[in-house]
A and B are shown apart, each in its own frame.
Chain A
Amino acid sequence: MKDLHQFLISPLAAAQQHGPNDRIVMSSRVRLARNLRDASFPGWAKKPERVKILETILPAICALPEMSDSFAEAMDNLTALDKQILVERHLISREHAAKNVGSGIVLNREESFCVMINEEDHLRMQALRPGFQIREAWNAIDQLDSALEKKLNYAFDNELGYLTACPTNLGTGIRVSAMLHLPGLVLAEQINPIIQSVNKLGLAVRGLYGEGTEALGNVFQVSNQMTLGESETVIVERLEKVLGQIIEHEENARQSLMEKKPKTVFNHIGRAYGILANAHSISSKETMNLLSLLRLGIDLNLFPGTPRALVDELLLVTQPAHLQKQISDKLSAEERDLLRADMVRERLKNVSRPLTK
């Protein structure tokens, strides 16, 4: 068995991946839901059937050239900590992390593809790209899916399209999503009207870890909701258009904040720096919210010479499971808060106070 932690790219390397518009769009993702024709969906199948499905799908994926160098494992072979790390990397869903016997994961070396087996559907395949690249992600996953359909017998209906466990995913089985960092819109108190208008277009806005989670660190996920009655390209194009507009609104909000309320912006960023650079105990939630402001400060050139990757790496390594992984002893939440503060102070040692222009 491969060691997950030797396989995963380092948090720094992950933070250094660049893509178009990554100031605001942290990452893009397209996932497709697929199921096998003659099998019950994972939530209804009994354990032996799920195991059989896993044993059918796993080798089929590993045989694809794109997935030849990959981490492929049954979920019951992963520790709770490993699974949590995969969640914190946004490679698997929280729901999938709760799975054991009969579920699996295949992740390629570049971490551009990650397939969940027997999550809610038999197959949840995702293409991941840094920055604003949803079209590229769709093209990539489309190819992977076309290669896989030659090996597996998909459940497909002429009228209803790809059949999925939940009727909300029926048809194309596609979810196109982007993770957006929107501190400007939050500070300018424009985020709620934006969310409402995006909802009106039939798109969902969610928090950092998907369904039912809060928007920690001013990070929002925007994705399509409807999957039937429109083609994949139409859905991708609509998302592209809406995301383009959100990016523009965020840029405008930042600019007008700097023109009209520079003191408010300096105050938020200065305080965030003050706490992060001097705290001796800090929760994961507070860290994320303050790092978001630091990230904004870097975007606004208030920390000359400090790369955005410093913040993006910290956003990852200060998460509970990543923190726990660095220490062999089991830590309590309080101990983690001390350790987290030590780590953040150390990393910010050479970052000077923010400019005030």
Chain B
Amino acid sequence: MQCCVCKEKPATVHLTQIVGEKMQKLDLCEDCAKAKGINDLTSFAMADLMLGLGASQELEQATSGVETKCPRCGFSQADFKKSGRLGCPECYQTFAEGLSGLLKTMHKGVRHTGKAPEALRKSREIGDRLKLLQKKLAKAVETEDYELAAQLRDEIKVLTGPASSKTAK
């Protein structure tokens, strides 16, 4: 087995970290393990290492070698490879495809479930409710329950009515 960092020397250090139900594995040669500080357990954290390793490759693969640049700030995946940081909030849209795999390995989930700014919290709730109503509506139409469908359509109309401009993207 080859070292996953230098891709030259044989891997002799094998690491496994279990987070929730996911298992992450790393195979490193002795030199790279030392360079990443793996012998010093106090400063070692797998996510830091994963970020340094896999992130840029994934971004590259997702864009299949074509240089993508963020339309707002001009940041490219080569810049990400260098710094491990993004250029601006918009970059999350620009590089969404490449980031999604990375986020999966890095975090517990890929959807935010915590706090939201109050101004957006309402539109977030409306968005969630709309999705639910539309699902119900489709089902009602399917089962030819037109009475319920009409009722649901009215509810959707109320939600998308005057507040529609505020609905989150």
- Chain A residues engaging chain B, CB cutoff 8 angstroms: 35, 37, 39-41, 43-44, 120, 142, 145-146, 149-150, 154-163, 165-168, 170-172, 174, 192, 195-196, 199-200, 202, 204-207, 211-215, 220, 225-232
Q: Are B106 and A167 in contact (CB under 8 A)?
A: yes
Q: Closest Cβ of chain A: how far from B84's Cβ, in Å?
A: 6
Q: Are B114 and A230 in contact (CB under 8 A)?
A: yes
Q: Are A44 and B88 in contact (CB under 8 A)?
A: yes
A156→B120 CA distance, assembly (Å): 9
Q: Are B108 and A229 in contact (CB under 8 A)?
A: yes
Interface status of B89 (Cβ within 8 A of chain A)? yes
Q: Are B45 and A199 in contact (CB under 8 A)?
A: yes
Q: Are A225 and B47 in contact (CB under 8 A)?
A: yes
Interface status of B143 (Cβ within 8 A of chain A)? no
Q: Closest Cβ of chain A: how far from B122's Cβ, in Å?
A: 12
11 A-B residue pairs with CB within 8 Å? A44-B86, A167-B103, A170-B112, A172-B114, A192-B41, A195-B41, A213-B43, A228-B106, A228-B107, A229-B111, A230-B108
- Chain B 40-88 residues near chain A, CB threshold 8 A: 40-48, 51, 55, 72-73, 75, 79, 83-88
Interface range, B side: 35 or more
A163→B110 CA distance, assembly (Å): 13
Interface status of B25 (Cβ within 8 A of chain A)? no
Q: Are B92 and A160 in contact (CB under 8 A)?
A: yes
Q: Which residue of A lies closest to B37 (CB)?
A: A212
A165→B91 CA distance, assembly (Å): 9
Identify A167's interface contact among B43, B51, B73, CB under 8 A.
Answer: B51
Identify B108's interface contact among A44, A192, A228, CB under 8 A.
Answer: A228
Q: Inside 8 A of B46's CB, which chain A residues have their CB?
A: 199
Q: Closest Cβ of chain A: how far from B38's Cβ, in Å?
A: 11
Identify B47's interface contact among A145, A168, A196, A231, CB under 8 A.
Answer: A168
Q: Are A202 and B20 in contact (CB under 8 A)?
A: yes
Interface status of B115 (Cβ within 8 A of chain A)? yes
Q: Closest Cβ of chain B: how far from A178's Cβ, in Å?
A: 15
Given contacts A40-B73, A168-B47, contact A228 B103 (CB under 8 A): yes
Q: Inside 8 A of A35's CB, which chain B residues have their CB?
A: 89
Q: Are B85 and A214 in contact (CB under 8 A)?
A: no
